[in-house]
Structures are given as structure tokens and as C-alpha cells.
Structure 1
């Protein structure tokens, strides 16, 4: 009986082992019958829960779509999913980790009292209202010139020149003869009037009356302290009536003439506060306010000139000094300010990239006011408290064009108008091999030629941040077989390329030193 129990126990154990082994092999068979799922490194290719995947793609070859995840056939990286939500919601969603790697920085639109302020250039000039012009009213000769060079400093009463006028002699001799003859006062007064009509100065007539001698020379003196800014005669020169002998400019006051760029001309007003600093002496300043705006744009410099008078009683300043000038409008107003780095000007419009309430990014058209330090006033297009991208805009633009979820910053409007955007900051241009209404983005890099074939060139090149490409070796198609014939294996080159169907095509290539265009 005991032997039967042992045999039964051993039989039960054997059956259990057979069942376990059968289950193991059956499980292996069922597992092998299921389709295998490719193992993809990283988590970027795994779809998020609750989101519908439209397709997978390689961000470096965004034109090629795949219907399932896996490894990119083009690069050593996993395919990236594109979700339906990305195409349905406005703007571009960028992972916070990628934002950090791209160096994206945000700034808040702030409302504050804005004063019109601009930085311009000015120069000190003679105050022409203090200038005295020395002229002669009769034909004569310079017998002696005391001020013998321009820019010579003079003081009030200093002699400038001695003038001999022959036609004054007969009138003086006639007066002396009448006086010696004892004729009446009325006749003498008539003779004096005749001398005044000949432009004989009153001081010469007085000297003639006192000394009883003919005055042969007229001494011309400086009317006030200043500088001989013009000297138009020399010793012995003959002068005619109305001829300018010299010009004396005073130095007690100077003009500060400010050059306003034509684009800022409408913002300048009389009464704006001025703080001027000499270019080579930053610790000295001049304070004042604009007193006059000249009514004409300078044709050569395309600037509008504003003027104010600065005191120079202590000879602190000299004409011709270059000044850095800060202009400020006294009355402030409420306005919106953003960092100047946040603004992108395409030539046809001005935009900033705004972060929506859900964190997505999209461009907004704005109208600019003046600059306030490192910030710029926004007249329309934004509201206080909104957040804008202050750095990394162009990388965002590249990411948006790869994912096709946000209009190109500089290309959307141009595409509508069938005309390329001029002066674009994102390097959009027209390529000669495509239709004139098609806008193509051009990328640049530097690398070394590894192989040249009739249809392609293989390059080992540096990273391309705009496409988030690391340094790599890649084949690029030629526009034509005859292109780039001067280049050979081993050349270090700067090159430009565009997306072309399912690959990339070279558009321009030069050696790193600038040869072989």
C-alpha cells in the first residue's frame, strides 16, 4: 500500500513538470507568431498617451513620411511622431528640454511710462549770431596787416589792418582850408557832411578836427573778443567797396548742432532735453534743450539738424568738438516695452514670437515706436503681460518650418503676395531652378569634401543649428553635372544648400579662403 502511494506521488510530480514544460514551449511558440516591434533608442519616437499620430518622420528629412515608428533610414536616430493636435492648434509646441537646449529665453511685455529717447551725434560750432564781418566802403590799399593768419585769437580793440584810401584826401584838405579861412560853422558842417558821404569814419573826422592834419590811414580794429575765422586780404592788397577783409567769431557762446537721422526726424521737437558728452571725455556733460530745428534735410548725410546754444564764458569748449547726444522728450506717456532682441524685421513687416496661454509659440505682427535703452516701444500688436521670445527666434523658425505647424516668419506673407521678402533675417531666397513664386530656405555650413561624383558631392561638415543637425558626413546633390567642377576631394569649403524633394541640393560653394567661386 505504501509503495502505491509513492508511485502515485511520483506520477503527479512528473505530470506537473510535463504541463509546465508544455506551457513554456507553447508560450514561446505564440510569442514567435506575433509581429515584432522594432526597438528604437530614446523616447522621442514613442507616441504620447491619448494623442493621435499622423505619421513619423526624420526631422532632418521632413519631406519623407513613415506609417510606423522605427529607426531613420537616413540618419542614426529614431523617427519622430507628428501628432494630429500639432496641425489643429495654432502655433508651435516645443518641449521644455528642447527650449533649454535651443537657448530660448522669454520676456514679459511690460507697460510703463515711456519717454521718447534717442542717441545721436552732434558737433560744436561758432555761434554765427556773434560773428562780425569787417568790410571797406571805399577803394584803397592795405598798408599793414596785423592779423596775419586765420584762427588767430584777438581781443576787443586789437588792430586787424591799416587801410589807405586816396579819395579821402581831397575832402580832408578842403575842410582844413575852410577852417583856416575862418568861415562860418554852417560851411564847416557842410564840409563834414561831404566827408561822411565819402564813408570817412567819424573817428577820422574827429582826429582831423583836433590835429589839423590829414589822416592818411584808417586803423581797423576787432569789434569784440573772438577768433579771426576768415582773413581774405594780404599786405599791399587793393580792396574795393563792400569787400570782406576779415570775419571775427565770438567764443562766449557756441552752437551745438545735432544731426538727427532722417528716419527719426518726425520724433524731434523743440524743447526736448539734451545731454551731450564729448566723445573723448565721458565725465564732462552739457545740458540744455533744443531751441531750433532747421527746416531742411541735409542732402549728403540725410540728417535733420537741430540746434541749441551752450555757454562758453570760461572757454571750456571749442568749435568742432564731436559730442554724443541723448535726446529725451520731457512729457512721458504709457506704452508697451519689449527687449529689442525680441523684434524680427523682415523688410515688409515686423514680428515678435508670442507664447500663448497653452505654451505654444506663434508670430505676431507689431508696429514699433522708439527705442528706450535696450528696449523698444510697441504701438500695436501686443498686450501688457504677454510673453515673447527674446532669444532663439530663428531656431524656432527653423523648427516650425520642419514641422509645418506654424507659418514661416518671413515667408508666409511673401508667398501670399507671390513675391519674395526682401531683407529677410531668416535667409529666405529664390533659387534659379524653381518657379519664381516658390520660396526656398537656404542653409549654410563649412566642411571638407570627401567624394565628388558627376551628380553629387559628399561632405563632412560642421553642425547646422537651424536644422538641429550635429556634425556629420552627408551626400548633397549638384544642381547640374557641370557645377562645382573646380572642387576636389580634400578641399575645405563654405557651402549653401536647400531641401530638394527627398534630399538636399547644393546651391553655392566657395573655399574657406574665398577662392573658387
Structure 2
């Protein structure tokens, strides 16, 4: 009986020993995966953790290990780079594997923007080159010349002869005063003729011939197209009545419909080239006269007015044309392939390639696109290398490692507020047990924040309840305001 008991005890003891050994053997690889710095017992030569972060929310940093307040997982340590760059940490890839990963690099180049917007336009009259013919005094139409709307007129072309009876008496008085030799009275009579609406040329003719001239021939002051003709023989005219309207053809307008997505790059005065089906092989040069302020709601286009010289009068309103609106910048810009730019919706990034197979995200300010290239207004320098293919893979890896591109511009003056209690404070930082920062999506927790200035600690001590206001600059949260609340312990 005793022998049986001893056998059972021996078997149990062996099983326990084997279990302990197996557990240690199984646990050893897992323990080796936990960096010594993460548990605060870094051995000699082990990298030092800069901070801890949640891979699903890498922009928030923690000063010690623990469980993530955002996800049900342990925080991951972020180590200083071997070259001492710290915050400039990058994704490292063996250069021999870049081809296998499909990585393709492109250089940041400098050049001028030479863009062209192609659109369709229709010719129209230049509304600034218009002449309106009106009589300055009442009269009767004695003759109408053979004209009709649409006729091409030369300058000073006759339109109608009118009789002005009241001019006869005024001209006879003028001739009588001329015979008297009184210069002052003659000047007054001449002024009266001018105020009655008589042209200066007709007054000179009366004075020169010595005969009354009650008839006036209305002429077109400019050459062009007769748009309106409202005069008939025998009709009575009133002063200021519109008899004819003439549009000049020395220049024409070209109304161009430009998509609103491309209209932002257009400016008044830039060069335009028009090609008309009526004149194959010819290019008519002009310039953008105006970008009209209203968009077409149906076609989502803006109307651009181009002025084209028309010295020979061959360009006629109603003709269609293919238009190229040319533009080039005076200042050279930096250019990268458009595919290299990662647009997140809030900002634009590129993956910058550095020596030793290192890649890091860099925020950029993109400009206009042209022929598969995107202008970079801020964030890069000429000669740098960016990833043009495979950049999304590197960006995902950088996000998992908590590598976040620094912001280009200063952050907006937005403060995130919450209630809290001071656990420790000095001139540099404050440790708070705070409630949730709803605008940051940060739950209630205990954290240490740097102070924007040492004066914020004045009048505060450990245990005070405060309302804290944080500003966010890149990945850093800084206390901008620390106000003691009414209820204190």
C-alpha cells in the first residue's frame, strides 16, 4: 500500500516538474519579446523608450507602460533611433528589398508652371465698341439711305437726311449778325446754334457759304455691323430718339466655358489662342479680358471673356472656336509626381527617402497640378527623394510605429478643456487627474502636461481642483490655462 502511494507521489512530482519546465519554456519567448525598457529594468545596451503609445491612436503619447485608454491592448514603447534623431524616427527597410516591395523613388525638381486650359468658346460682339445714333433736336425724315440691319458699314456711312425747321430761323439770325460785323453778337449766335444741336461742321458750312442749311445727314461714327435701324422716310423725330445702333468689328469677344475646377488658375491678361473651323491652320492670339463672376449651375462652368483683335474683320460673332488658355509662373516651383502625394482629407503627405533605407512621412502644402506633376509650395527641398510607388505601404507602417509627420503650419488657436485635480506641479509641468477631453476624444486619466509658461503655477498647489485648457501642436499637448475652480478640498 505504501509502495503504491510512493509511486503516485513520484508521478505527481514528475508531472509538476515537467509542467513548470514546460511553462518556463513556453513563457521564455514571450518574455523575450517584452523590451527591458518597457518594464523599467533596461539592461546594459538595451534601447531606451522615449514614450509609450497606442498603435491605433499613435498621436497620443504616454510616459509609462500600461493599458491603452482607447483600445483593449497594452501600450507599445517607442525607442530612440540609433542615430540619436529621436523624433525624426523613420521606417527602415533593407535596400535590397525595395525592388521586391515595388518602391520607386522620384526626385524633387524645380521648374516653372506652364499650364494650358483647353475649352470651347463662341465669338460675340465687343460690347464696348458700340455707337448709338440719335438726333439732338426734333425734325422730319426726308430721306432714308438703302440700309438694313446686319449690313456692314464703313465709318461716316450715311443713314438718313432729316429736316430741322427751327434751325432755319437761327441760321438766318446768325448770317445777319455776321453781316453787321459785331464780333460779340456773332459769337453769341454761334453758341446758340451749337446749343440747338447743330453739328460744328454744319455751322462752319453755313458761315462759309452764307446760305441757310436746315437739313442734316445722320452718319455712323464708326465702322461695323448695323444692329438696329428705326428710321423711315416721312416720320417725325423727337430729340434723343434712337435711330440706329452700330457694333464695331475691330475686336471681338470670345465667350469661353471653363470648368470651375480649372478656373481657379486663370487670371486676367493671360495669353489665349483660338483656332476656328472656318480658318484651318490659323491661330488667333488674344488675351483674357475678364473672368465673369457667375457660374453656370447646370454645367458647373465659369464664363471667361477673351478679347481677340479683328483688324481684317474676318471674325464674325456666332463662330465657334477651340481655345487654349496659356499660363506660366514667373517664380519656379518645386515639383513631384502627383502619385507621390498622399491626401488624407485633412492634410497632404509624402514619404521622404533618406540614406540607409530610411523613410519618414513629411507633411507638404500641394499647389496646382500639371501633366501628372504636383507643385509643392512648402515642406520639401530641391533634390530630395520621395517615394512615388509603394508609399501607402510605408505610410501604414509608419502609423503602426507611431511615426507622425510634424505639422507644417502653426495649429489653430483651439483649446481643449476639462476638469481635473492637481497631483503634482512645478514651473515646467503639472500632473493632473483629469476628466475626459471630449474635443480630443481622450477619456479620464492621470497624465503629466508641460506648462506654456511658468506663471500658470502661481497660486496653485497639490490637491487644488482646476479647469485645464490644452492646446495641441503636432503630437504635443500643452497647458495654456489653469484656473482654480470654486469647490476646493
For normalisation by structure 2, the TM-score amounts to 0.49
